[in-house]
Amino acid sequence: MNSQSSQDLDEPKSAKSSVPTTTESMQEEDAPEATFEPTDHGSEWHSQRNRILIALENILLAVEHPVNRIVREPQLNPFYYTGQVAVFVLLVVGATGLYLTLFYQLGFTASYNAIVKIDNQFLAREIRALHRYASGSLIIVSLIHAFRLFVMDRFRGARWLAWVSGVVLVAFAWFVGVTGYLMIWDVRAQAIIVFFTDFLRQNTPFGEAFALAMLAAQTSDQGWVFMFILLTLHVVISLGIALFFWFHIMRLNRPKWTLERHWLIGLGIILVLVSIVVPVGMLPKANVGQLPNAFYFDPIYLFFFFAGSSATSGGLWLALTLVVVLIGAMPWLKLRQEKPQQVMIDKARCSGCAKCVADCPYKAITLLPRTDGRPYKSVAQENLELCVGCGVCIGSCDTQAISLTNLSAPALWQTTLARVAELRARTTGDLEIALTCERHASRVPNKPGVEVIALPCIAAAHPDLVGRLLTTGATQVHIVGCPPEDCGHREGNTWMEARLTRQRAPRLRKVYADSPIFRHWLPPDEFPIPVVASRPSPSASTSSTSAQDGRLLAMTGRRFLPAFVLIAVVFAVQALLTNIPTQLFPAEKAIVQLALVDPMQSAGPWVNTGAQSLRLVFEADGRVMWERRYSMTELKTSGIASMLQEFSVAPGEHHFKFYLVRDEDGRSFVLDEQQVSVQDKQIVPIGLDCSITWRGPNGSTKRCVTAVENVK
């Protein structure tokens, strides 16, 4: 038997131990060859993949194709490891985040100073950079992982839990990242707060209350409360990520969430080097008296800044929410031509050998004690809630006791062998049979003498069926499956490789060991190439080496070098893109903030003197910019409510006056009056309550005067 694959596959270390010893005895050479019996069940597999998903996968394959050329070995394509890489960077984020939390302090000034101290030490500074860049990689790799699973149709049916939990994981990771940026309390954090506050004020009824609470916290010594809430959210939701990751993999048999040693070492070195070469640095501290000027922002986590302003971000958030909900609901949308297939086990045929239990990638089959009096001790029991219809178990079963809803194993044998016999009768030359999965079946080679037989997964073909194809008339048999680590059903290519190389039961019989059976583990877009290209004669072929030997050969450090160079370039670009300069507010702009956190504290005695109606007025340079009228009923029931208003002014000399006036007698009460030389980007607070001492950008303090001093 020959292998033209770029790399043979090996069997996971736990694979052999998971198969009971009873399977070994059934695979001795004197055991009867698997046979078929006619059935009314479905006999051929018809691909059920959606055309849209196939078109999207073609785009993905076009992107991955040059990567395969660069790394030379498909097994070393980083795209095939996005799930494990996401887990790796998540662990890096968790470990570095725990270290940084040990030195974190609460309070606007204290938090910023704590980060400054971290940035002044080499080791701590690099750990902080590692935390930042690994966080960005987590989102990018997770999105690529999700897109690959989507176009491969690996999100519906029993996979819904993994899909939905994955959507939640990405959402949680994004939110934790945003809170991480806020915890630094620099001008970037201030810009996030300004953006978020404006959004709440324009789109929710509690935006003004949040804005006033933030203003009160920033102009007093209560910043530690806000930072404590942020830290709590940051930690608790991070723990939630761990919980949902467990949901994400709980239905998988032998989940592959760790990388091999070469990948771990290489990725770790790359992340460390990028963190050293591209340091994170520090931005100026947030300043309550100054609009955040130019700063660097991360488009991965802070993409909402692309909306330009909070006024236009409402549509962005609405659209984003709808997209996330739609993505989460994908498992229940009809994007497949038929209902997903599910396993059916003929208990009368089952011998209780447990091969199907060991091979199932999704824990959909268990072994139970037999109670029907038949000679075998155990019987396989399907769990339809966990079955994805991959068909791997069909290729595991020697007695053909397992079928899918529309694919019977006995009928599959009967139809396939009859088809080959008919072709042999009509063909005088070579007859090549290509067994392949439904990912590859849409790219059938248009070549005389090549017949393609599609299966839900390549591992659905029993090794005895492969051998019978040759005795029925095929001159060559091509086993065409997904590349290593990229099987559409997780382990189908691994199990098929192990069966054909006699590493795992059910094994290919020794009589076929040197037969023209060729194994091709390659991306779907390369499927026709090895089949329609040169056709080596059986006499010229050599026996394939063991899968284990081939695997070790591919895993030398030198073979990883092209992949690591490519990953290093991508990580470096990602690090540079997380520091995009931006300016949230235009030049030559300042803000006047009218803020009344508790107006009745200072003006209450004057308001309650029997006024019929009042007006709250703000003047700038003698011109009324804003006013609000309060009736006697409003004054008696609720008084003057807290409020926050903002006005843009040009830099320069200005006179501001904020006062109450009684309509019946024209008497006024001045809440605040200032003559200010306004600087560019300055925030001028007007009307702060007497209970608050405001600390300006230059350290100056200000308190409003009492009611007695202001009555005119």
List phi, psi (to 5°) of 682.
-75, 145
Q: Cα separation of 187 and 295, whole Å?
A: 7
**pLDDT given for residue 536 in this prediction:** 44
**pLDDT given for residue 39 in this prediction:** 41
Percent of the chain with pLDDT over 90: 49
Most confident of 7-21, 473-487, 611-625: 473-487
Tokens of 356: 């199907």
Only one residue has tokens 């590692």, namely 130
| DSSP state string for 261-283 | HHHHHHHHHHHHHHHHHS----P
> Is residue 85 pLDDT above 70, yes or no?
yes
> Is residue 62 pLDDT above 60, yes or no?
yes
The CATH number given to 590-710 is: 2.60.40
Lowest mean pLDDT among 76-90, 150-164, 207-221: 207-221
Q: Cα separation of 286 and 189, whole Å?
A: 7
Q: Do domains 83-252+314-335 and 590-710 have the same CATH topology?
A: no
So where are the chain's domains?
2-48+338-544, 83-252+314-335, 590-710
- Bigger pLDDT: 353 vs 707: 353
Q: Cα separation of 280 and 698, whole Å?
A: 28
Please give the helix or strand (H or E) that residue 506 lies within, else none: none
Tokens of 330: 């994908």
Tokens of 588: 């030559």
Output DSSP code: residue 284: P
**pLDDT by residue (tens digit) across 269-279?**
999 999 999 99
**pLDDT by residue (tens digit) across 178-189?**
999 999 999 999
Tokens of 496: 């098929």
Say which residues have a Cβ less than 8 Å from residue 658's Cβ, sequence separation at least 6: 594, 617, 618, 619, 670, 671, 672, 673, 686, 687
> Is residue 442 pLDDT above 80, yes or no?
no
**pLDDT given for residue 192 in this prediction:** 92
- Bigger pLDDT: 334 vs 65: 65
Say whether the peptide bond before residue 361 is cis (omega within 30 degrees of 0). Answer: no
**pLDDT given for residue 44 in this prediction:** 58
- Bigger pLDDT: 421 vs 642: 421
> Is residue 690 pLDDT above 50, yes or no?
no
Lowest mean pLDDT among 34-43, 62-71, 434-443: 34-43
**pLDDT by residue (tens digit) across 201-226?**
888 888 888 888 888 787 777 789 99
| DSSP state string for 188-226 | HHHHHHHHHHHHHHHH-TTHHHHHHHHHHHHTTT-HHHH
Lowest mean pLDDT among 450-464, 477-491, 591-605: 591-605
The separation between CA 412 and the C-alpha centre of its own chain, rounded to angstroms, equals: 38
> Is residue 26 pLDDT above 80, yes or no?
no
Most confident of 39-48, 60-69, 657-666: 60-69
**pLDDT by residue (tens digit) across 128-147?**
999 999 999 999 999 999 99
Kindly state the average pLDDT of the residues 613-626. Answer: 88
Lowest mean pLDDT among 361-375, 615-629, 635-649: 635-649
| DSSP state string for 620-664 | ETTEEEEEEEEEHHHHHHT-SPPEEEEEEE-SEEEEEEEEEEETT
**pLDDT given for residue 611 in this prediction:** 61
**pLDDT given for residue 544 in this prediction:** 32
Q: Work out the pLDDT band at 642, boundaries 50, 70, 90.
A: confident
The separation between CA 417 and the C-alpha centre of its own chain, rounded to angstroms, equals: 44
- Longest Cα separation, the chain: 114
Burial of 618 (0-12, 13-18, 19+ CB in 10 A): buried
Instruction: Please state, in angstroms and as integers, the Cα–Cα distance from residue 323 to each residue in 195, 244, 423, 490, following that order.
Output: 22, 20, 50, 27
Q: Cα separation of 482 and 340, whole Å?
A: 20
Q: CA 337, 338, 342 angle in degrees (round to 5)?
A: 140
Q: Work out the pLDDT band at 600, boundaries 50, 70, 90.
A: low
Most confident of 31-40, 44-53, 479-488: 479-488
**pLDDT given for residue 636 in this prediction:** 64
> Is residue 289 pLDDT above 90, yes or no?
no
> Is residue 82 pLDDT above 90, yes or no?
yes
**pLDDT given for residue 57 in this prediction:** 93
> Is residue 633 pLDDT above 90, yes or no?
no
> Is residue 693 pLDDT above 60, yes or no?
no
> Is residue 331 pLDDT above 50, yes or no?
yes
Burial of 589 (0-12, 13-18, 19+ CB in 10 A): middle
CA-nearest of 671, 622, 618, 676 to 650 is: 676
Let me know: does 282 contact 119? Beta carbons within 8 Å: yes
Please give the helix or strand (H or E) that residue 343 lies within, else none: strand 343-345
**pLDDT by residue (tens digit) across 533-587?**
544 433 333 323 233 333 333 455 677 888 899 999 999 999 988 888 887 776 6
- Bigger pLDDT: 631 vs 245: 245
> Is residue 702 pLDDT above 90, yes or no?
no
Q: Which CATH superfamily is domain 83-252+314-335 in?
A: Cytochrome Bc1 Complex; Chain C (1.20.810.10)
Q: Cα separation of 432 and 536, whole Å?
A: 12
CA-nearest of 312, 169, 181 to 247 is: 169
Kindly state the average pLDDT of the residues 690-699. Answer: 41
Let me know: does 672 contact 596? Beta carbons within 8 Å: no
Print the SS3 string covering 660-696: EEECCCCCEEEEEEEEEEECCCEEEEECCCCCCCEEC
Q: Work out the pLDDT band at 645, boundaries 50, 70, 90.
A: confident
Only one residue has tokens 């004669």, namely 537
Print the SS3 string covering 451-491: EEEEECCHHHCCHHHHHHHHHHCCCEEEEEECCCCCCCCCC
